[in-house]
Amino acid sequence: MNNGKPLQGKVAIITGASRGIGFAVAHRLGTLGAKVGLCAREAGKLKSAADELRPAAAGVFSAAVDVRNGDQIVAFVQNTEKALGPVEILVNNAGIGYFGPTHEATETNWDSVLDTNLKAVFLASKAVAAGMIERKSGHIINIASLAGKNAFAGGGIYCASKWGLLGLTECMAEDLRAYGIRVSAVCPGSVATDFSPHGKKDISKMLQAEDIALVVEMILSQAPQSFISEVLLRPTQKP
């Protein structure tokens, strides 16, 4: 009996959790009984998010972290485990975008996007993997994008980061599945958050952050003998 709390006692880390998809995922996992460790770069927004989550979650720990920095990631994982317990779930959500012609982009644009969207996933996953391997259990869920499968003008750097993320996800899944660790990717289309400009799109027809949170819940609800490797998520109507 889990009393409607199937994640009771589980500890989940969510990166980029101060708003948008990351906050929605943290809230959903908290209502399912999980204790949540939150990180983001902006300390003020992160504190507000953590305060809002405390009534819903079994426990909350938060810290301002630059996910591009390996030392900060390792310290965050260690401090989360001291505060809440061993990490069973990692949701790599932190991400940024650069949208414009690739030939006009700077090296800084490239480094910022690739380090946040791809390198950070490697760093965070590596930081939790040893404990998961020892316990022979765990979930790593990477929030990717349909941009990891579809090219579009102005999307070169962002698409490169998400194509790379899907390749990393599939290889990590093969590396870790023998230890009972399941690695999955969620690939949403356009989501109604402030992540990127939406132009003339009808926001009411776009995916909502909560839609992605429900997919994360679905992935985590799989029986031990199976895992969902990838989910493509689109709105019912084109916005």
Q: Which two tokens stand for residue 235?
A: 């709105």
User: Which has the higher per-residue pLDDT, 191 or 193?
Assistant: 191
If pLDDT is split at 50, 70 and 90, which confidence band does 98 have?
Answer: very high
Do residues 157 and 105 make contact, with C-beta atoms less than 8 angstroms apart?
A: yes
Q: Which of 158, 173, 187, 219 is catalytic?
A: 158
What is the predicted pLDDT for the residue at 18? 97
Please enumerate, as own/partner, the contacts of 97-100 that have beta carbons within 8 Å and a separation of 24 or more.
97/158, 97/195, 97/196, 98/157, 98/158, 99/154, 99/155, 99/158, 99/196, 99/197, 100/154
* 5: in domain: no
**Residue 109 burial (CB < 10 Å; 0-12/13-18/19+)?**
middle
Range of the domain at 82: 11-232
Give the percent of the chain with pLDDT over 90.
Answer: 91
Contact present, 45 and 19 (Cβ < 8 Å): yes
Domain assignment of residue 55, yes or no: yes
Which amino acid would we find at residue 133? I
Inside any domain, residue 2: no
Residue-level pLDDT at 4: 79
Count the domains in the chain.
1
- Residue 148's closest CA among 212, 232, 205? 232
39: pLDDT strictly greater than 50: yes
Side-by-side strand order, sheet with 59-64: 59-64, 35-40, 11-15, 89-92, 138-143, 181-188, 230-233
Residue 168 lies in a domain: yes
The predicted-structure confidence for 138-147, as pLDDT tens digits, reads as follows: 999 999 999 9
Q: How far apart (Å, rounded) are the C-alpha atoms in residues 191 and 209?
A: 7
- Percentage, residues of the chain above pLDDT 70: 97
**Does 238 reside within a domain?**
no
1: confidence class by pLDDT, cuts 50, 70, 90 = very low
Closest CA to 190 of 141, 220, 155, 228: 155
Domain assignment of residue 237, yes or no: no
CA distance linking residue 120 with residue 104, whole number of Å: 25
Residue with tokens 């093969």: 174
In a domain, 6, yes or no: no
Q: How many CB atoms lie within 10 A of CB 176?
A: 18
Respond yes or no: is residue 98 known to be catalytic: no
Does a structural domain hold residue 4? no
Q: What is the distance between the alpha carbons of residues 74 and 10, in angstroms, rounded to a whole number?
A: 19
Output the six-digit token pair for 8: 């009771």
Residue 108 maps to which CATH number? 3.40.50.720
